A and B are shown apart, each in its own frame.
Chain A
């Protein structure tokens, strides 16, 4: 610990003294960043990174963040940060304040993709010795990507000092990438190929196949080709697992969309074409909750999706109860009329939302705990999808418990199985009908909260899910929740296994053909209900 501290202090002192000496040399380079358009800035940036002076880091970071400006009056390159209506200017190298400027008096130095690549390469090479392990780690990754031969010396020095095993490995991989690109002795090349093969991911594969196609030497080519074969085999195994995960993920989305329908259509027998609009209303509720939190409680924005859950359930459920009381209850036992009426309702609801919120998409941003991805072996799992899978199963379990274990669930089952008898036992069947429909709609609202994270929040949101939902419920077996679960997961996986081979369009057609054939064989779906309830 103490040694590390001493090292750190020594490094700081060294940096401080050298930067004082070198800052003068950097200044003309920094000054040239402001001229010559993209290519001029890029050239100056490369020279800046070649100078190898950590004093340039704040300048490059400011360029990356879009904070580097040129003062129009004298062409001076400055860092400008917004303060009130104007900008506070500081010197990019010394950090000395240079007063304030109006927005019109300074010009931002623009950054494009090529420059962003150069920036991360430069920052990578310059921050390999940073005292912060996270910075060192990302520096090593940046060098791995840039494969900049100039970074080799810095890498070697950093490697000699590095203690952290994982950062060491990342640095070694970066070093291997640099060596392979630049060309080296046979022994070095083979060692580098072995290091990359050990990494064994897509980035390594990209690099190895590049070397295999156009390497520096024949030895490099053959070694790389062998490594490519090993890595590809490994990736193929992970690819199959990845497909399984995608299938599970699509299946859970289908489950969410269909499970509300499993209640209204499956249990109650109402062909509800407006089911998709309940999903849409749930998504718009999420939008409203998020907007509200942004305005009144910005600190809670990250929780907006959670807070939207009860809200969406109540709003969609409430709309469902109103629809049941006003339209559907007059149409029990008349499926064709129900179909037409609810289809009309779906159009009305869509247009109403369009008039209220406008035809354009609304942005529901993902909370931080739902964005990004993590690697699990060779799998890339996005947090958003993971939470949706978890959520779908939670909703399914909750619904199952509600139907099997509560008094309300008992009355629902009683009414659907034998209405006159339930009536005779004192159950208010009309109220149960309304609440059941509300329950199904409310669950659709919950689905809307989840779908707002992965799909458009637009008036058409529901339309894209209504066909799929019916497909799942019919395939799984009308009136059986477990059927809906199995049906959703089966269709999701089938779709995802077909997609890589048949393409998205043909894949969907094949799934539909499969369902048509399946229904021919088993008209009542996977899990057919038996007994008197079927005839009711």
Chain B
């Protein structure tokens, strides 16, 4: 029997699942889960990732991992005694289309939760839809923070779970004094660099020791920028590059670094958007030792990760497929959702939103991640060095878990804001100075 049905774009005609909360709550926990009478009904889960266009390179993998997670959950008997059914739509890397497809998933397919988006601009585009229709979105990618919505659960890293620890590592271990902040020209790198700039200046780094450089999406000629980095690095102080370069532009960037002989021993590059998947298209021998900061690496040596990689390779029937950080974020987010739904006994959004907070599930690095009241999660921060085989080797791991901080403490606009979606506060941007809900941001 096919347990997963994909519908591409066009919604399924047919039953609209209705849920008798009290009766089904009992069913979910008990041995009756997956019994014959429940098999007829399904819970729909939306997958909103680009399968074509420029972001397909990253997002297709996330669609696949969601299908795998749903498949595995169904093998375990589904949720609340019902099978899960994936509804896959393709927003085609087109930001307004993301909003349209999100509306379609929520109103037409009546999905219980949506897992999706990659770029910040796509998340911003669907945000009003999820808030208007009271849907649930699980967002799996590291992002710039400065946002907290009641309807969104951010399972990727906030800046304090990626950027700040990476800079700290370089400062303490590599004694870096001069910084190049290189990024693609859009909201995530700009906000992250703003936070980093404020943070570095707070640490006593001078203006002339920070260089910020933006490039367009898909920039392919890096000769003069790499030469510029070399020049900036020859001022007698240890220099590092913090890269928020996104997407396709990374391949020519790293190729140029390799060709011009920028070695990690001399000028290390730490990247926030380069994972195993991006390195798959590059010859990594000249890049040995360059760094990336994530919350997960495929090379993490834990039994639970080994199992995840094994089932991923089996599911995709491809021995060469790699795993990466946003995949782990979906793994965590999906399991949290399952747990919260089972605790609430229903998939009704309000009940699930309330029961999500405090839910803890195992992550793939050997610990537990918990959902915080600000809808961000706790994660360990890992710094890895690129190896010759295209994998990362962890060279530093935070001793404990780092809670995600949505409103950066280093930006004047947001340092007084907190987010707490528990009652009675229920506010995404509470200003602790004025004592009022509302301020900058959403």
Which A residues form the contact surface with B (CB < 8 A)?
38, 110, 112-114, 116-117, 120, 145, 202-203, 205-213, 239, 242-243, 246, 249-250, 253, 350-351, 354, 358-363, 365-366, 371-373, 380, 382-385, 454-460, 463-464, 495-496, 499-500, 503-505, 508
Contact = CB atoms under 8 A, between A and B. Distances in A.
A300 B179 CA distance: 43
A79 to B, nearest CB: 18
Contacts of A500: 224, 228
Contacts of A505: 185, 214-216
Contact of B216 (A246, A382, A508): A508
A456 B214 contact: no
B326 to A, nearest CB: 14
A360 B277 contact: yes
Interface stretch (B134-142, B143-151, B278-286): B278-286
Kindly name the residue among A253, A363, A456 whose own CB sees the greatest number of chain B CB atoms within 10 A: A456
A443 to B, nearest CB: 19
A14 B212 CA distance: 55
Interface string B182-224: 0001000000000000000000000000000111101111011
Contact of B230 (A113, A202, A372): A202
Contacts of A495: 221
B236 A208 contact: yes
Given A110-B393, A361-B251, A373 B260 contact: yes
A361 B248 CA distance: 9
A202 B234 contact: yes
Given A213-B236, A458-B248, A504-B215, A361 B280 contact: yes
A61 to B, nearest CB: 15
B104 interface: no
A113 B234 contact: no
Contacts of B266: 145
A464 B248 CA distance: 10
A209 B282 contact: no
A354 B289 CA distance: 31
Contacts of A207: 236
A246 B223 CA distance: 7
Contacts of B231: 202, 239
A113 B174 contact: yes
A362 B228 CA distance: 28
B78 to A, nearest CB: 30
B52 A354 contact: yes
21 contacts: A113-B265, A113-B289, A116-B265, A116-B289, A208-B236, A211-B236, A246-B227, A354-B56, A358-B60, A361-B248, A366-B255, A380-B227, A382-B223, A385-B259, A456-B281, A458-B57, A458-B248, A458-B281, A463-B218, A496-B223, A499-B224
B283 A363 contact: yes
B289 A250 contact: no
B246 to A, nearest CB: 13
Contacts of A211: 236
Contacts of B1: none
Max chain B CB contacts within 10 Å: which of A205, A242, A380, A385? A380
A496 B224 contact: yes
Interface string B386-402: 00000001010000000
Nearest to A246: B223
Nearest to A363: B281
Contact of A210 (B52, B173, B236): B236
A interface majority secondary structure: helix
| Contact-residue bracket for chain B | 35 or more
A360 B280 contact: yes
A370 to B, nearest CB: 9
A113 B268 contact: yes
B234 A499 contact: no
A384 B259 contact: yes
Contacts of A246: 221, 223-224, 227
B235 interface: yes
Contact of A203 (B216, B218, B234, B268): B234
Interface in B236-269: 236-237, 248, 251-252, 255-256, 258-261, 264-266, 268
A223 to B, nearest CB: 15
B281 A253 contact: no
Contacts of A38: 395
B228 A366 contact: no
A253 B219 CA distance: 13
A26 to B, nearest CB: 25
A497 to B, nearest CB: 9
Nearest to A350: B52
B77 interface: no
A385 B223 contact: yes
B224 A366 contact: no
B185 A249 contact: no
Nearest to B283: A365
Given A360-B57, A458-B57, A206 B233 contact: yes
B252 A454 contact: yes
Interface string B162-177: 0000000000011000
B54 interface: yes
A457 B277 CA distance: 14
B385 interface: yes
A357 B169 CA distance: 38
Nearest to B291: A113
B38 interface: no
Contacts of B121: none
B225 interface: yes
Contacts of B256: 382, 454
Contacts of A213: 236
Contacts of B259: 371-373, 382-385
B214 A250 contact: no
A362 B281 contact: yes
A113 B224 CA distance: 26
Nearest to B277: A360
The 10 closest A-B pairs by CB, nearest first: A361-B281, A210-B236, A209-B236, A206-B234, A359-B56, A202-B234, A382-B259, A504-B215, A112-B395, A456-B251
B265 A382 contact: no
A460 B248 contact: yes
A401 B188 CA distance: 50
Contacts of B230: 202
A117 B263 CA distance: 10
A114 B54 CA distance: 37
Contacts of A504: 213-216, 219, 225
Given A249-B223, A366-B283, A460-B248, 14 more contacts: A112-B393, A113-B265, A113-B268, A116-B289, A209-B234, A210-B236, A351-B52, A359-B56, A361-B57, A363-B282, A380-B227, A385-B223, A458-B57, A460-B53
Given A373-B260, A500-B224, A504-B216, A209 B280 contact: no
Given A209-B236, A361-B251, A505-B215, A113 B264 contact: yes
Contacts of B223: 246, 249-250, 382, 385, 496
Contacts of A205: 234
B269 to A, nearest CB: 11
B138 to A, nearest CB: 21
Nearest to A372: B259
A114 B260 contact: no
A246 B260 CA distance: 13
Contacts of A249: 221, 223
B255 A454 contact: yes
Interface in B391-422: 393, 395
Interface in B23-37: none
Contact of A372 (B61, B185, B261): B261
A455 B236 contact: no
A452 B218 CA distance: 14
Nearest to A118: B265
B52 A460 contact: no
B54 to A, nearest CB: 5
Contacts of A382: 223, 256, 259-260
A208 B237 CA distance: 11
Q: Which of A38, A113, A363, A385 has the most CB of B within 10 A?
A: A113
